[in-house]
Structure formats: structure tokens, C-alpha cells
Amino acid sequence: MAAIPSLTPENEPAEANALPPAKAFPAEAVDGAGDGPAGPAPIAVEKLRHQVDAIISKVDELEVKVNEVAQFYANKKRSKGAKDGKDKKMAVSSCSNLIVCESALNVKDGSSCTKRMQELMRQFGTILRQISQHKWAWPFMEPVDVEGLGLHDYYDIIKKPMDFSTIKNQMEAKDGTGYKNVREIYADVRLVFTNAMTYNDEKNDIHVMAKTLLDKFEEKWLQLLPKVIEEERRQKEEEAQAHENMQIAQEAAVSKMAKDMNNELAVLNSQLDGLRELVVQKCRKMSAEEKRRLGAGLSNLSAEDLSKVLEIIAQNNPSFRATTEEVEIDLDAQSETTLWKLKFFMKGAMELQTKNSPSNADENLKRKKEICDALAKTAKRRSKLLSSA
């Protein structure tokens, strides 16, 4: 048994219009707050209302930030758990295709990455000019004249036509529709020759010319390929480093946000404590009937809440010590500040009890019986003291 209010001879229900916790005082709920017996002073109550509204608004802002921090670490945990997860694949996918990386990397050497890519494109352009200048390149310089040559089945066999003029135009495109990397150009050059070899049989002159030029092209490509592979490796490393730097920056920003929120919460807690203290200081003197109701309400609290009741009493009464299982609380001996704090706390606790109905009715009944027995014992002791006096 944690606490026994001494002025509660009857186990009555808590006061129906008791006050809510200080965090959400409506102006009309500040029972007895004011400068005199007439009730609350409108100006003081309105000031409290504005202060509480400001705190609630700040709490809402902090809740949004807390959700952002929680979401960040939840995503980080999922990403870390997936060894080859989607995020990791996305981080390096552009590098494997030699995509121009200046904007994607967002690092100091982004311009050097672009310059290296431009140099590879220039070298590949040299290879393409050498092939296109060959004496057998003329059939492949322009799109196939399907109608003029009467090739009615051409599009049934060749799904993606290609020629050197189309490749050249796409290499020179400035509107963002051009080639993004060397391997794309290489694939289209091969397509020019493989299309010709597919549509024409092996004995056809066009087939022989295409096969010859394809062999020459592959030889020159193999000379450039080591540089392409090296550039792919470098871009992968740079992209991975940029991704890591981004993660570090995000973690630092989130960490700062969490630290700032902690400081803001400390300030809010201090403001709430000040408001609670201000409210109880402005409360009128509690009547004997109100004390009786308070005692009855406290007797209905859980053991955990009764422990908090003792803490509230100890805050304003340093000499108070709850060293035994059964403690007598003389409400008449408490200051008005303590009494109103107890009333505010009791109201909030009772609302929570109503909202979260007890899961163990037998335990509740047992606790209430103990309280009633203790109250009866206290009342009997007080009667003896009065008769002896």
C-alpha cells in the first residue's frame, strides 16, 4: 500500500469536474485561478491560453521532426540489412554504363569525369571515321531505301534499322537525346553490320562487305576497350564515394536535428513546469469538501500513480518521507500549491484509467479492498485520538 489520504473516510469516486493535466488546460478549466474569490481574471487566463497554445504548436512541429528522424534510421536499417539491396544497385548503376556523371556525383572532380568521358567519345569518333571512310562503307552510310529497292520483307526481318548517318546525328545531338556513353555507340555500329549480315545471305556482296568492316571495327574497339573498362572502374569508385559522402552528410544533418529537438524539448518541459506552477499559485484556497473529494479520488489511483502522488508531496515538503509500505497523507497539512497539483494529477490519471480500462479486474478489486481497509483503519485511529483528547 503506497499512500493513504487521511481525509477520505468514504471510498467515493473522483470528482467529475476535476482538472486535466497542465499540458492542455482550457481557459475555463483553470478551476479557481484568479486574483480573488470572484474567480479567474480574464486577462491572466487568456495569457495562459496563449502560452499553452504556443507550446502545443511547438510540440506538433517537434513531432514532425521526430517522425523524419525515425524514418531516416528505419530506412538506414533496412538498407544495411539488404547486402545487395536496391539502394546499393541504384548507387552504381549509372557508372556501369559510363553515363555522364558530373551532376550525379556532385563531387569536386565531377568536371574531370566529364572530360575523361569526352576524350573517350572523341577517340571512338576517330574509329568511326576510319571505318566510314573505307571503300566498302558506302552501303551503310544512309538508311536502307526499303521502298526504292522493293525490300517488302525488310522490316519483318530487321526490327531496328541502323546506319552511320543516324549514329553521327545522335552523337552530335545537343538536346539531351544523344548517346550517353561509348558502349551505346559501339552497340549501334555493330547493329549496322549485323543487320546487313542478317538480311543478306553469306554469298551476297553486302553480307561480305559488312562482315569485313565488322571485323576491322572489332579490332579497333579492342584497342580502346581497356580505357573504357578503366573509366568504368573509376566512375564506379567515384559514384560509390559520392553516395557515401551523401549518407554521411545526411546522418550529420539528422544527428543535429535530433540534438536540437532534445534541446527544444528541454525548453518546453521547463515552460510547462513554469505554467503548472503559475496555475497552482493562482488557485484559490481549497475547501474542506474539495479536500474530501480529492482524498476519495486519490484512493482510486493505481499503486504506480500513488507513488507519483508521494513524489508530488515530497517536492513541496522536503521533510516528507515515505519509508513504510503504509503512509498517511494529511491533506490539511499540505500547502495549497500541493493540493492543487494533486488535483490536477489525479484528474489526468483517472482519465487515463478510464481510457485504458484495467485488464485484470480481480487485481483491481483486491487493491481497492486494501485501500478501503486502510482508510477504515485510519478513521478508527483518528476517532480514538479525538476521544482521548
**Residue 151, number of CB atoms within 10 A of its CB:** 15
- Rounded distance between C-alpha atoms, residue 41 and residue 298, angstroms: 29
Q: Which residues of 202-223 are buried (b: 16+ CB within 10 A; e: fewer)?
A: eeeebbebbeebbeebeebbee
Amino acid 82: pLDDT: 60
- Rounded distance between C-alpha atoms, residue 135 and residue 137, angstroms: 6
pTM value > 0.85: no
Residue recorded with cell 571515321 = 129
Amino acid 29: pLDDT: 41
Amino acid 346: pLDDT: 85
Give the type of residue at 314.
Answer: A
- Using one digit for the tens of pLDDT, what is the confidence trace for 258-313? 888 888 888 888 887 777 777 766 677 888 888 888 888 888 888 888 888 888 88
Instruction: Name the stretches of the chain with pLDDT < 50.
Output: 1-40, 83-109
Amino acid 36: pLDDT: 46
